[in-house]
Structure 1
Amino acid sequence: MAPLARGYRRAPAPVRPRRPRPTGRLRRTLLAALVTAAVAVPVAGAARPAEVPAPAPAGVTRLTSAEPTALAGELAARYAAGREELRAAERTADTYGARRRAASLRAMAAPGRTFLSFDGRDGGRSVEVLGDLARAERIAVLVPGSDTGLDSYGRFRAGATALQETLRRESGARTAVVAWLGYRTPATGSAASLTPGRAEQAAPALRSFVEELSAVRPGARITLLGHSYGSVVCALAAAGLPVAAVVLFGSPGTGFDTAAGLRTSAAVWAGRAAEDWVGEVPHLRVPLPLGTELGFGTDPVDPAFGARRFAAGDGGHSDYLVPGSVPLRNLARIVDGQEPDRA
Structure 2
Amino acid sequence: MRYRWRRTALAVLVASAVTLPVVGAARSPVPAPPSVTLAAPTAATLDAAYAAHRAGAGRAARMAADHGDRRRAAANRALAGPTRQLLAFDGRGPGLVTEVLGDLAHADRVAVLVPGSDTGLDTYGRFRAAAQALHGRLTREAPAGTRTAVVAWLGYQTPATVGVAVATTDLADRAAPELRAFVRDVRAVTGPRPRLSLLCHSYGSVVCARAAPGLDAADVDDIAVVGSPGTGADTAADLRTRARIWAARGADDWVRHVPHLGVDLFGTGVGFGADPVSPGFGARVFEAGDGGHSDYFASGSPSLANLARIVLGETTAVTHD
TM-score in terms of structure 1 length: 0.84
Aligned to 1:246: 223
Contact 1:240/1:265 (CA < 8 Å) preserved in 2?
Answer: no
Partner letter of residue 310 of structure 1?
F
Aligned to 1:307: 283
Aligned to 2:239: 262
Aligned-residue offset at 1:35: 5.1
Partner letter of residue 176 of structure 2?
A
Contact 1:60/1:117 (CA < 8 Å) preserved in 2?
Answer: no
Q: For residues 128-154 of structure 1, what are the alpha-carbon distances to aligned partners after superposition, in whole Å with 9 as ceiling and x for unaligned?
A: 000000100000000000111100111
Aligned to 2:147: 174
Say whether 1:186 aligns with 2:165. no
1:1-343 alignment, distance < 5 Å: 25=4, 27-31=6-10, 51-64=29-42, 71=43, 73-172=44-143, 173-217=146-190, 218-241=192-215, 242-289=219-266, 291-339=267-315, 340-343=318-321
In 2, the alpha carbon distance for the partners of 1:177 and 1:210 equals: 13
Percent identity of paired positions between Structure 1 and Structure 2:
57
Aligned-residue offset at 1:170: 0.4
In 1, the alpha carbon distance for the partners of 2:9 and 2:130 equals: 38
Unaligned ranges ≥5, structure 2: 17-25
Q: For residues 46-99 of structure 1, what are the alpha-carbon distances to aligned partners after superposition, in whole Å with 9 as ceiling and x for unaligned?
A: xx96522111023012124xxxxxx1x311000000100100110111111111
In 2, the alpha carbon distance for the partners of 1:136 and 1:61 equals: 21
Aligned-residue offset at 1:248: 0.5
In 2, the alpha carbon distance for the partners of 1:50 and 1:76 equals: 29
Q: For residues 196-225 of structure 1, what are the alpha-carbon distances to aligned partners after superposition, in whole Å with 9 as ceiling and x for unaligned?
A: 011111111110010121133210100011
TM-score in terms of structure 2 length: 0.90
In 2, the alpha carbon distance for the partners of 1:29 and 1:159 equals: 34
Partner letter of residue 210 of structure 1?
V
Contact 1:122/1:184 (CA < 8 Å) preserved in 2?
Answer: no
Between the two proteins, the alignment pairs up a number of residues equal to: 303
In 2, the alpha carbon distance for the partners of 1:30 and 1:159 equals: 34
Contact 1:203/1:237 (CA < 8 Å) preserved in 2?
Answer: yes
Q: For residues 95-139 of structure 1, what are the alpha-carbon distances to aligned partners after superposition, in whole Å with 9 as ceiling and x for unaligned?
A: 111111001111111121110111111311111000000100000
Q: For residues 158-188 of structure 1, what are the alpha-carbon distances to aligned partners after superposition, in whole Å with 9 as ceiling and x for unaligned?
A: 1100000000000111000000000111124
Q: Which of the two has higher C-alpha Rg?
A: 1
CA RMSD of aligned residues (A): 2.0
Higher relative contact order (CA closer than 8 Å, sequence separation 6+): 2
Partner letter of residue 77 of structure 1?
A
Partner letter of residue 191 of structure 1?
V
In 1, the alpha carbon distance for the partners of 2:30 and 2:71 equals: 10
